[in-house]
Amino acid sequence: MIRSIRARVTLLLMLALLVCVVVFAVGIWIGRKDEAYYRELQRYVESQSELAIRIIMQAEARGPVTVTRDSLVGAQLVPEVASVMEVIPDYLMVLDTAGRAVYVSQKARALPPGDLTSLQESALNSEPGTSARLLTLRSDQIFLAARLENDPTTPIERIVAGSSTNTTEALWLDLLRSMLMLAPIVLVTGGVAAYFIGGVAVRPITTIITELEAITDGRSLHRRLGGADAQGDELARLTSTLNAMIGRLENSFGGLRRFTADASHELKTPLTVLRASIERAMMARRGSNEQMEYLEDALNEVTRMADLVNSLLSLARADEGRFDLVRDVVLLDSMLRDIAETATILGEPNGIAVVMSECEPLTVEGDAPRLRQLLLNLVENAIKYTTVGGTVELSLASENGSAVLTVKDTGMGIAAADLPFIFERFWRADRARSRGSGRGGTGLGLAISQYIAQAHGGTLTAQSRLGRGSTFTLTLPGTVRREQSRPETSPPRVA
């Protein structure tokens, strides 16, 4: 199946050209011996015999036209008349009253003996004046016409002219052969022309596709396709229809984003108040143990909801292009050490060891709290999805001017079919199991992490094998290696 329209147009045109050449050739071959052709040939041989008669009549006016030099051979045309007759190129026979040939043209003389005899017999038996007829010899196929010499005083009685039908057939064959030889050239030239024309025709569509791909990457819906006012042709209509569609998409996406941002923003304050109230109630320690447990559950859920609302707000802001970074020099190695400490505490209940395999002294221009949030997300996941007694390995190294941070675990891993979706919002593998096993979550952590990585011009990728563990790799460009050790804390920042 050919996918490109250009290639399809080229092939179809070449096929059409091939069909035309074949139809033309077959037409020529079938029509080579039709009625009109025989009528034409008949007219020709009759005119040849007329010409011969006229030559003889003119010669007779000057004297006898035959002479007998050899009694064995019999009478022959006198040489002067014979040489005039030689101008007639085809088959020609002049017979005397006794039915003997007094002149045989050069072409007839060149016939093989058997064919010459047949021609002579046929000439004798031809009915003069009637229409021409076909005579098939072994070496040729001849169209014959006979004429009578009307003057009874001369020894000449019958003149037979003939023309080979094979000569014209050879002409047709020549024509066919040249057509077949020309066919590949016609096909190649036609193909090149079609490829060029196809390219010109498809180019605007390719431009539209490229522009559309750039617009529909999710963050450029404010842009529109160019060339909408060009010529008012089909492509201009397609462009303006697509532009209208992008406009509607922009409106609905915008509405959705605004709603998420507004709703999360509005929810933030009551949740903070709720959380503070529960904490205050717990601090008073006035209730029974049972009541305290209820309050603790409520606090956990409110904290979870507040985290969710915060994540939603971050993503909504990122969608609106308001994911502003406050850039500063970030000491990646000390940040990773802090994270490792937190990870060790988080992993302790499940006996998960946290090791640091490599930690180069690297700095990068970036937003420290955001990067910390990113690394914490990765480490939390690594601990959360690793079973008892597993290991989480952290590393930081520089590669081609970029800082490469990896978080590797020996946990449950991610199925190959799930891997492409893990950075999508609200996506969680095997939801039911993770909820039951205490591995709750919103499915927003990696989506936010990827936004943070991209906002820093970096990438966040995952490699994983089900049951074997996962490795998350964060690459941040523009890293600098510190020669001397500096204070091991990142510069503080007010969020």
Ligand X SMILES: Nc1ncnc2c1ncn2[C@@H]1O[C@H](COP(=O)(O)OP(=O)(O)OP(=O)(O)O)[C@@H](O)[C@H]1O
Binding-site ranges for ligand X (CB under 6 A): 377, 381-382, 385, 409, 411-414, 422, 427-429, 434, 441-447, 470
**Residue 428 binds which of ligand X, Mg ion, none (CB < 5-8 A, kind-dependent):** ligand X
CB of 315 to ligand X, least distance (A): 11
CB of 225 to ligand X, least distance (A): 34
Binding mask 221-250 toward Mg ion (x if CB under 5 A, else -) reads ------------------------------
Q: What is the DSSP letter of 229?
A: T
Stretch that binds Mg ion, among 290-298, 345-353, 373-381, 408-416 (CB under 5 A): 373-381
**Residue 198 binds which of Mg ion, ligand X, none (CB < 5-8 A, kind-dependent):** none
Structure tokens at 5: 């329209």
| End-to-end Cα spacing for the chain | 57
Binding mask 69-88 toward Mg ion (x if CB under 5 A, else -) reads --------------------
Q: Tell me which long-range contacts 482-490 makes (C-beta under 8 A, separation of at least 24).
A: 482/331, 482/361, 482/362, 482/363, 485/361, 486/331, 486/361, 488/331, 488/333, 488/334, 488/337, 489/331, 489/334, 490/330, 490/331, 490/334, 490/335, 490/368, 490/372
Return the number of the residue (382 or 476) whose C-beta is nearest ligand X. 382
Q: Which of 331, 45, 318, 60 is nearest to 168 (CA)?
A: 45
**Residue 77 binds which of Mg ion, ligand X, none (CB < 5-8 A, kind-dependent):** none
**Residue 473 binds which of ligand X, Mg ion, none (CB < 5-8 A, kind-dependent):** none
Residue 6 CB coordination number (10 Å): 20
**Distance (Å, rounded) from C-alpha 200 to C-alpha 348?**
67
Q: Is residue 375 within 8 Å of 336, Cβ to Cβ?
A: yes
Structure tokens at 398: 């520089």
Q: Is residue 375 within 8 Å of 359, Cβ to Cβ?
A: no
Q: Which of 425, 345, 343, 412 is nearest to 376 (CA)?
A: 343
Return the number of the residue (143 or 472) whose C-beta is nearest Mg ion. 472
- By CB under 5 A, residue 445 contacts Mg ion: yes
Return the number of the residue (216 or 434) whose C-beta is nearest ligand X. 434
In the chain, the amino acid numbered 490 is: S
Return the number of the residue (198 or 390) whose C-beta is nearest Mg ion. 390
In the chain, the amino acid numbered 458 is: G
Stretch that binds Mg ion, among 19-27, 211-219, 402-410, 440-448 (CB under 5 A): 440-448
Structure tokens at 315: 């993503």
The alpha carbons of the chain give a radius of gyration, in whole angstroms, of: 51
**Distance (Å, rounded) from C-alpha 220 to C-alpha 212?**
10
**Residue 453 binds which of Mg ion, ligand X, none (CB < 5-8 A, kind-dependent):** none
User: What residue number has its CB nearest to Mg ion?
Assistant: 445
CB of 377 to Mg ion, least distance (A): 5
77, β-bridge pairs: 66
**Residue 162 binds which of Mg ion, ligand X, none (CB < 5-8 A, kind-dependent):** none
Residue 126 CB coordination number (10 Å): 21
Tell me which residues in 380-399 interact with Mg ion (CB under 5 A): 381
Structure tokens at 287: 């209730």
* Lookup result for tokens 């006229």: 54
Return the number of the residue (51 or 267) whose C-beta is nearest ligand X. 267
Return the number of the residue (155 or 445) whose C-beta is nearest Mg ion. 445
CB of 441 to ligand X, least distance (A): 2
**Residue 422 binds which of Mg ion, ligand X, none (CB < 5-8 A, kind-dependent):** ligand X
Return the number of the residue (264 or 381) whose C-beta is nearest Mg ion. 381
CB of 308 to Mg ion, least distance (A): 12
CB of 394 to ligand X, least distance (A): 13
CB of 345 to ligand X, least distance (A): 18
Q: Is residue 351 within 8 Å of 389, Cβ to Cβ?
A: yes
CB of 457 to ligand X, least distance (A): 22
Distances (CA, A) of 285 to 272, 277, 280: 20, 13, 9
CB of 411 to ligand X, least distance (A): 5
Q: How many CA atoms lie within 13 A of 256 on its CB side?
A: 8
**Residue 429 binds which of ligand X, Mg ion, none (CB < 5-8 A, kind-dependent):** ligand X
CB of 330 to Mg ion, least distance (A): 22
CB of 371 to ligand X, least distance (A): 16
Structure tokens at 177: 């052969």
**Residue 91 binds which of ligand X, Mg ion, none (CB < 5-8 A, kind-dependent):** none
Return the number of the residue (27 or 389) whose C-beta is nearest ligand X. 389
Return the number of the residue (366 or 441) whose C-beta is nearest Mg ion. 441
User: In whole angstroms, what separates CA 160 from the centre of its chain?
Assistant: 69
For Mg ion, the binding residues (CB under 5 A) are 381, 441, 445
